[in-house]
Amino acid sequence: MTRRQKAGRILTRMIQPGQTIGIIGGGQLGQMMALDAKQTGMKVIVLDPTPACPAGQVADDQIVAPYAEVQAIEELAQRSDVLTYEFENVDLRALEDVADKVYVPQGTNLLNITKNRIREKTFLRNAGLQTAPFMAVQNADDLKKAVDQLSYPSVLKTSEGGYDGHGQVVLHSDADLVNCAGILSTQDAILEGWVPFRLECSVMVARNENGEVTVFPVSENIHHDEILHLSIVPARLPHNLQKQAQQMAVKIAHAIDLRGVLGVEMFVTAAGQIYINELAPRPHNSGHYSIEACNFSQFAIHNRAICNWPLPKIELLQSAVMVNVLGQHVAGVRQQIARRPNWHFHDYGKAAVRHNRKMGHVTILTDDIDATLSEIDNTGIWRE
């Protein structure tokens, strides 16, 4: 990669309109990344095993192949000017193998840290950030020792994989240990002590290769059955805690040498302590509000960051509530289209509608958060 010195500043390669962004993964995050990329004149190629996947529907082309297929990754690299991904479970070796063929600004260190919960929490602790207490667990004996030290309640999770509540078990007493066999069979788990949080929140932060950082508002997140239900922006937190959360996200971005967008999930206790829960090395569900509510969306900022464009200061144009549309909500939400002219409806175009599968989302710009929350609840769609 060529570098040149100008006005005392190191400038690196910029991806220009007309060049091609390759995206590993074709779900809704890839779809929204592709939609923004097309707006700025980029070409987009997606790698995904499902024909006409959400991102493939809006991209210039799709390579239909398994993510782990070496030949497919190499083809994507050869046809792209910059390579990115929309989910964590990317083959690190495959990325390393094509790094000499295509610009991979995010590298592999970010994925290596964030795809493993033990490495992730160790990194966060070493960076001076507070996390839940944790211990590595490989078998039943390890679990007993970890429980003796961390006590109940606690949460047993697989070190890798798992999403939306999959791959984890909450332990309240010895009676729950019988539910741990599946996770223990991986021989690579983590027990986390319980954080008595008052609310969950997240911050999207982005950084480019020139070291410029921009940070989004704090989103307050409410979950149902371990799946994000809705996000409230700005979070209902004192200003000083919102500022602290953003500062922590920026600190992480620099410490991990971030390129692109990173979602930082946090717990906030009644005493105002902030714990970092997890990192998502990509756009995040809780940042979808930014499409309508901010001057730049998280997808626009991700694309700018990986293409090494200058990063703007993010402004929240209006308060917002974003609510997820799962499979069981689709019919009810579609009935609202004719009734709610001020709702922003997003449908990801997934072929199969399944219970608890993310099918879309709705964003509502508002001057009265409580009234909007009541409006959502009164539809009856999200009462399960």
Give yes or no for a contact between 284 and 313, defined as CB atoms under 8 angstroms apart: no
Q: Tell me, what's the pLDDT at 384?
A: 65
Of residues 325, 329, 299, the one with CA closest to residue 314: 299
Does the annotation place 200 within a ligand binding site? yes
Domains contained in the chain, CATH given: 4-104 (3.40.50.20), 133-193 (3.30.1490.20), 197-378 (3.30.470.20)
Does the annotation place 342 within a ligand binding site? no
> What is the maximum alpha-carbon separation in the chain?
65
Does the annotation place 165 within a ligand binding site? yes
For 12-43, the pLDDT digits (tens) are 689 999 999 999 999 999 999 999 999 999 99
Q: Which residue has the higher pLDDT, 252 or 161?
A: 252
Q: Tell me, what's the pLDDT at 188?
A: 92
Does the annotation place 223 within a ligand binding site? yes
Q: Tell me, what's the pLDDT at 159?
A: 92
For 73-130, the pLDDT digits (tens) are 999 999 999 999 998 888 888 899 999 999 999 999 999 999 999 999 999 999 999 9
Does the annotation place 349 within a ligand binding site? no
| pLDDT grade for 2, boundaries at 50, 70 and 90 | very low
Q: Tell me, what's the pLDDT at 89?
A: 80
Residues with Cβ within 8 Å of 8's Cβ and at least 6 positions away in sequence, in order, are none
Does the annotation place 16 within a ligand binding site? no
- In the numeric block, the tokens 């990115």 are attached to 84
Does the annotation place 304 within a ligand binding site? no
Q: Tell me, what's the pLDDT at 4?
A: 38
For 317-358, the pLDDT digits (tens) are 999 999 999 999 999 999 999 999 999 999 999 999 999 999
Does the annotation place 277 within a ligand binding site? yes
Of residues 295, 296, 297, the one with CA closest to residue 283: 297
- Mean pLDDT, residues 242-271: 98
- Mean pLDDT, residues 49-74: 95
Asked if residue 242 has pLDDT above 90, the reply is yes
Mean per-residue pLDDT of the chain: 94
- In the numeric block, the tokens 């999770």 are attached to 157
Q: Tell me, what's the pLDDT at 68?
A: 85
- Following CA atoms 27, 28, 33, 35 in sequence, which dihedral angle do they give, to the nearest 10 degrees? 110
Separation between Cα atoms, residue 306 and residue 308, nearest integer Å: 5
Does the annotation place 278 within a ligand binding site? yes
Q: Tell me, what's the pLDDT at 300?
A: 98
Does the annotation place 163 within a ligand binding site? yes
SS (H, E, C) 286-347: HHCCHHHHECCCHHHHHHHHHCCCCCCCCCECCCEEEEEEEHHHHHHHHHHCCCCCCEEEEE
- In the numeric block, the tokens 């959400």 are attached to 54
Does the annotation place 168 within a ligand binding site? yes
Query: Of 117-121, 266-270, 380-384, which gets the smallest average pLDDT?
Result: 380-384
Q: What is the pTM of this model?
A: 0.94
Does the annotation place 43 within a ligand binding site? no
Report the percent of the chain where pLDDT is more than 90. Answer: 89
For 225-234, the pLDDT digits (tens) are 889 999 999 9
- Following CA atoms 203, 301, 229, 237 in sequence, which dihedral angle do they give, to the nearest 10 degrees? 30
Distances (CA, A) of 113 to 79, 99, 107, 124: 28, 18, 11, 10
